[in-house]
Amino acid sequence: MLLRKNMFEHKYADVNNIRLHYVTVGKGKLIMFLHGFPEFWYEWKNQLAEFGRNYQAVAPDMRGYNLSSKPVEVEQYRMKYLINDIRALAEHLGYKKFILVAHDWGGGVAWPFAIRHSEYLEKLIIINAVHPVVFMRELRDNPAQQKASQYILVYRTPKAEEILSRNNYALLASNLLEDGIKQGYFTEEDKNAYIEAWSQPGALTGGLNYYRAAHLGSFTGESDDSLSADPSLFVVAVPTLVIWGEKDKWLLTGNLEGLEKYVSNLTIKRIPDGSHWVIHEKLGLVNSYIREFIEG
Mean local confidence (pLDDT), 206-210 = 98
Cα torsion 228, 232, 234, 238 to 10°: value is: 170
CA 156 to chain centre: 18
Mean local confidence (pLDDT), 64-87 = 97
Q: Which pLDDT score is estimated for 228? A: 59
Q: Which of helix, strand or coil describes residue 129?
A: coil
Q: Check pLDDT > 90 for residue 1.
A: no
Mean local confidence (pLDDT), 126-141 = 95
Q: Check pLDDT > 60 for residue 183.
A: yes
d(CA 29, CA 97): 9
| Catalytic positions | 104, 211, 276
d(CA 94, CA 272): 39
d(CA 105, CA 144): 20
**Please, which pLDDT band fits residue 185 given cuts at 50, 70 and 90?**
very high
Mean local confidence (pLDDT), 99-123 = 97
Q: Which of helix, strand or coil describes residue 99?
A: strand
Q: Which pLDDT score is estimated for 222? A: 42
* Phi and psi angles of residue 57, each rounded to the nearest 5 degrees, phi first: -95, 125
Mean local confidence (pLDDT), 119-148 = 96
Cα angle value 105/237/89 (rounded, 5°): 50
Q: Which of helix, strand or coil describes residue 125?
A: strand
**Please, which pLDDT band fits residue 51 given cuts at 50, 70 and 90?**
very high
Asked if residues 126 and 262 have their Cβ atoms less than 8 Å apart, the reply is: no
**Please, which pLDDT band fits residue 271 given cuts at 50, 70 and 90?**
very high
Q: Where are the beta strands (DSSP E) in the chain?
A: 9-15, 18-25, 30-34, 56-60, 98-103, 121-127, 240-245, 266-271
DSSP letter at 275 equals: -
Q: Which pLDDT score is estimated for 220? A: 40
Find all residues with CB under 8 Å of 162, minimum gap 6, and list them.
none
Q: Check pLDDT > 60 for residue 2.
A: no
Q: Which pLDDT score is estimated for 174? A: 96
In percent, how much of the chain has pLDDT > 70? 93
**Please, which pLDDT band fits residue 4 given cuts at 50, 70 and 90?**
low
Mean pLDDT of the chain: 93
Domains assigned to the chain? 5-295 (3.40.50.1820)
Interval 209-255: pLDDT, tens? 999 999 764 444 344 555 556 777 899 999 999 999 999 999 999 99
Mean local confidence (pLDDT), 174-195 = 96
